[in-house]
Amino acid sequence: MLSEAQRRAVLDFVRIAGVVDDLAQRFKSAGHELALVGGPVRDALLGRLGKDLDFTTSARPEQIEQLLAGWADAVWDIGRAFGTIGARKGDWVVEITTYRADSYDPDSRKPAVAYGDSLEGDLLRRDFAVNAMALVLPEKKVVDPFSGLADLTAKVLRTPGLPADSFSDDPLRMMRAARFASQLGFTVAPEVVAAMTDMADRIKIVSAERVKDEIVKLVCGAHPRAGLELLVDTGLADRVLPELPALRLEVDEHHRHKDVYEHSLIVLEQAISMESRIGDGSPDFVTRFASLMHDVGKPATRRFEGDGRVTFHHHEVVGAKLTAKRMKALRFSAEEIDQVARLVELHLRFHGYGTGEWTDSAVRRYVRDAGPLLERLHVLTRADCTTRNKRKAAALRRTYDHLEERIERLSEEEELAAIRPDLDGNQIMEILGIKPGRVVGRAWNHLLEFRLDQGPQELEAARAELLRWWREQPESAAGT
């Protein structure tokens, strides 16, 4: 069933990873079976093999460790409790796991580790048929008891056994189905979708950290819309990312607002198309997630006005708070939460630009408020235009082009990215004759606002403004 291209992919893998033959011979000589298994086999067939290799074996962990000694450059046993020993050989990272036949407690996704006695039994416990193929070594024989090759060709995800059994054992596999739909562009078999829908509530026993990891991989995949739609359609999103399905607002009878859910997915796709502007152009989770979440404040702020209009006043502020709350619940880092929430809060700021009426002061504040997120904000703001009116879309692009040109010009003149007051804290204390404290911070902030309003100042002008401000402060009269 292998195409010629797939055959070449397998042969290329075997040729490139010559170390595999040596490793396999070690296991065979010791009387143990060894097979390349799971993702590496799938990825080799897809022509996207990486440097991480997963093996399964009849050997027990202590035997694996002995066989790796003298062969690997480094060995670690952090996964010993689950039958896994890791190693590094040159550029390759290897994990070798004893055949498994685990059992699961219905209230936990942590298995009671039990070793199996056959390769086929080990493959049966894997998540999807495309991940339940093995290449037996050193014979290089493909073992495919669940038609994973056929599924790979058809680009479909099925479970090796009954979906309900698989998801009951490990509910996180439901999230992985959505993640693989995103990463590989595969469809999910109807019976798998049905089981995900019926068992969505089981995801509650999975830790927030594991759910977060799957969401990140899904959002950073090549086809995130497919994975997100699967989460929403099966009800999983209601449990792990409820702000997303909440965007499916009923459209008012006069159609005065867009389908916010569909709009958000389009904004995500458009942001992805502009990722070359950010860093090295690789998937940027912060920008992608902010694009997805930028309108989550709309359901809570929707109002039907007397003239038939629909408004969402301050939805960017509400959305930023909801985004931060959800990301905190999913155990994202404080830095990631701050970055995404800040982009959500700022995504409407540009629309006050009109046709270019902002003063230089307003442009400086735009740059100051975005800080290191400026390029991401550029992408999000541009992606947020989903109008089908070509004239309106072109006008918005031209206006934002103009804003970016002004930012670039001012940056060259004033080093906007490093805007600081024209006087530092030591100079403020010396001029005012005060000691360190809150007053120094207030003076510094005032001079920063003065700098944003007026642009760079000579030291005498900054000193004069500081003294003017100081005369109006109660501490001045008190001689503080």
pLDDT in tens, 313-324: 999 999 999 999
CA distance 448 to 419: 8
Residue 10, pLDDT above cutoff 90: no
Residue 13, pLDDT above cutoff 70: no
pLDDT given for residue 14 in this prediction: 61
Residue 360: band (very low, low, confident or very high) from pLDDT cuts 50, 70, 90: confident
CA distance 186 to 151: 9
Looking at per-residue pLDDT, the higher value among 251 and 253 belongs to 251
pLDDT given for residue 191 in this prediction: 98
**Local structure of residue 456 (DSSP, 8 states):** S
| Tokens 């997630």 -> residue | 289
Averaged pLDDT for residues 103-119: 73
284, 278 Cβ separation under 8 angstroms = yes
Residue 345, pLDDT above cutoff 80: yes
Whole-number Cα distances in Å, 118 to 35, 100, 220: 11, 9, 36
Averaged pLDDT for residues 3-7: 62
- What percentage of residues in the chain have a pLDDT greater than 70? 90
Residue 479, pLDDT above cutoff 70: no
Residue 48, pLDDT above cutoff 90: no
pLDDT given for residue 244 in this prediction: 97
* Number of residues that this document lists for the chain: 480
Residue 255: band (very low, low, confident or very high) from pLDDT cuts 50, 70, 90: very low
- This prediction has a pTM of 0.83
For residue 383, the SS3 value is helix
Averaged pLDDT for residues 132-158: 92
pLDDT given for residue 280 in this prediction: 87
Q: Which of 191-200, 442-451, 471-480 has the highest mean pLDDT?
A: 191-200
Residue 368, pLDDT above cutoff 90: no
pLDDT given for residue 252 in this prediction: 45
Residue 254, pLDDT above cutoff 80: no
pLDDT given for residue 11 in this prediction: 64
pLDDT given for residue 373 in this prediction: 96
Residue 410, pLDDT above cutoff 90: no
- What percentage of residues in the chain have a pLDDT greater than 90? 61
Mean pLDDT, the chain, integer? 89
Question: Minimum mean pLDDT among 29-43, 301-315, 338-352: which range?
Answer: 301-315
Q: Within a 10 A sphere around the Cβ of 138, how many other Cβ atoms?
A: 16
Looking at per-residue pLDDT, the higher value among 306 and 301 belongs to 301
pLDDT given for residue 253 in this prediction: 44
Select from 145, 142, 234, 218 the least CA-distant residue to 186.
218
Residue 15: band (very low, low, confident or very high) from pLDDT cuts 50, 70, 90: low
Query: Chain-centre distance of CA 187, in angstroms?
Result: 21
